Amino acid sequence: MEEKMPGTYKVTDNGKTLFVKWQGSLLDSRLLDLTTERYQDARLRNGMTEVIDTRSAMIERPADKPALVRAINQMATVYQEIRKQIKIARMLVVAPDQLMFEHVSEFRLLMARQSVDVILFSSSQSLSYFLPYSPVELEDIFVSLSMGNLANFRQQA
């Protein structure tokens, strides 16, 4: 059986929106590689919005908290390097439960130091107020990312 990658992404709206689906362990070192890789995508534009769905990601036992804090710090460092190449206007993150919300909040504080607004949501429903997509379209995007079926994305002008 093929091992699932720690995330997938899709660029839409002529490079103005980057949808990301994190899946599996947040301690998977390949998550950092995926982050670096997606920011090398030539379609991305300065001032873009990154939308991250963490509903398929998992946080290991509380005993792994030091490792998770290190991973969050590493991710923030990667973003700091990336920002030398492309400006992220804001990040919209779906963090569905209290534990994920707490850890993404730590990431949010680190990103604030880099002048990136990170807005947290408990569900994808609220995202539609910040994006040119209906709640149904957003859910379709995230489901497609989970399935690896990206052919049905609506590309916005």
Q: Read off the pLDDT of residues 32-58 as tens digits, 9 standing for 90 and up.
A: 888 888 888 899 999 999 999 988 888
Q: How many angstroms separate the CA atoms of 19 and 8, rounded?
A: 8
Cα dihedral 137, 39, 36, 67 sign: negative
pLDDT reading at 25 higher than 70: yes
* Polymer length of the chain: 157
pLDDT reading at 152 higher than 70: no
Band of pLDDT at residue 4, cut at 50, 70 and 90: low
Band of pLDDT at residue 94, cut at 50, 70 and 90: very high
Tokens 């497609």 sit on residue: 144
Q: Give the domain 7-147 fold.
A: Transcription Regulator spoIIAA (3.30.750)
Please state the pTM of the whole predicted model.
Answer: 0.84
Could you tell me the residue ranges of all domains in the chain? 7-147
Strand, helix or coil at 106?
helix
The token pair at 78 is 């990667």
* DSSP one-letter code for 131: S
pLDDT of residue 155: 35
pLDDT of residue 93: 94
Q: Which residue has the higher pLDDT, 101 or 148?
A: 101
Q: Which amino acid is present at 83?
A: R
Q: Which H helix or E strand runs over 137?
A: helix 135-147
pLDDT of residue 63: 56
Q: How many angstroms separate the CA atoms of 9 and 21, rounded?
A: 6
Least confident of 35-44, 64-73, 85-94, 139-148: 64-73
